[in-house]
C-alpha cells in the first residue's frame, strides 16, 4: 500500500483488518488538510496504521494508535517509524479500546479517526468515552467515524454533535465535535 508522498507501508495479510480505501483516505485528508499540520492525532482501531502514517507524512506532531492485535501493533510501529520525522512523536497502544481510552483521560487530540469493524456494537460507547474522558478540545477538535450504513450499529445515542456526513459508495464518514454551548 502507498500513502502520501508515494511512500510504501506494510499491510496485514488476511481478513483480520479492513484498510480504509484510498478514496476515503484521500477524501478525509482533503477535508482535514488545513488541520493536520502540528495536530495531535488519535487513531482508533488502527489496523496497520495507514491513517496515522498518512497523518505523520502530512505534518501531525503526534500520533497515538490503539489496536487490539499484537501483530497489528508491530506493523504499525514499523510503518510509523519509517515515516516519522525527528520532531514527531508516535505511540502504539495494544488492547481493548475502551480500557485504553480511559487511560488517556484528560489528554487532548485535535483529530480522532475511528474505523472499527463495521459489525461492531461499540460505536456509541467509544464516542461517549471520548466525550466523557475529555479527549477532544471543545473548540477545535473533530472526530471522523468510518462506517457502512447498511452494516454498522451507529446511531445518535451519544453526547457528540454530528456536523456533517460524507458518502463514498457503501462507506460513510460522520464528523463530530463537542456540542455547541
**Which pLDDT tens digits describe the chain residue by residue (181 residues)?**
444 554 565 565 655 555 677 899 999 999 999 999 999 999 999 998 999 999 999 999 999 999 999 998 999 999 999 999 999 999 999 999 999 999 998 899 999 999 998 888 899 999 999 999 999 988 789 999 999 998 888 888 788 999 999 999 999 999 999 887 6
CB 28 within 8 A of CB 144: yes
Global confidence as pTM: 0.90
What CA–CA distance (Å, rounded) separates 70 from 112? 21
Taking the domain 21-177, which CATH number applies?
A: 3.40.50.150
- What is the full DSSP assignment across 63-107? EEEEES-HHHHHHHHHHHHHH--TT-EEEEEES-HHHHHHHTTT-
What CA–CA distance (Å, rounded) separates 139 from 154? 24
CA-closest candidate to residue 112, choices 30, 48, 55, 59: 55
Amino acid at each position: 500500500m502507498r500513502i502520501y508522498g508515494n511512500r510504501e507501508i506494510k499491510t496485514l495479510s488476511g481478513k483480520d483488518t479492513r484498510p480504509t480505501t484510498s478514496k476515503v483516505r484521500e477524501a478525509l485528508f482533503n477535508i482535514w488538510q488545513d488541520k493536520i499540520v502540528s495536530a495531535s492525532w488519535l487513531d482508533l482501531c488502527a489496523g496497520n496504521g495507514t491513517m496515522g502514517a498518512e497523518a505523520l507524512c502530512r505534518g501531525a506532531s503526534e500520533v497515538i494508535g490503539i489496536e487490539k492485535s499484537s501483530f497489528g501493533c508491530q506493523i504499525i510501529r514499523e510503518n510509523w517509524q519509517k515515516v516519522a520525522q525527528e520532531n514527531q512523536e508516535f505511540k502504539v497502544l495494544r488492547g481493548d479500546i475502551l480500557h485504553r481510552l480511559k487511560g488517556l483521560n484528560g489528554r487532548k487530540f485535535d483529530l480522532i479517526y475511528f474505523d472499527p469493524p463495521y459489525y461492531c456494537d461499540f460505536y456509541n460507547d467509544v464516542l461517549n468515552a471520548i466525550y466523557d474522558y475529555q479527549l477532544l478540545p471543545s473548540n477545535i477538535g473533530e472526530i471522523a467515524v468510518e462506517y457502512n450504513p447498511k452494516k454498522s450499529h451507529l446511531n445518535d445515542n451519544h453526547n457528540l454533535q454530528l456536523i456533517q456526513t460524507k458518502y463514498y459508495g457503501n462507506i460513510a464518514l460522520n464528523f463530530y465535535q463537542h456540542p455547541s454551548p
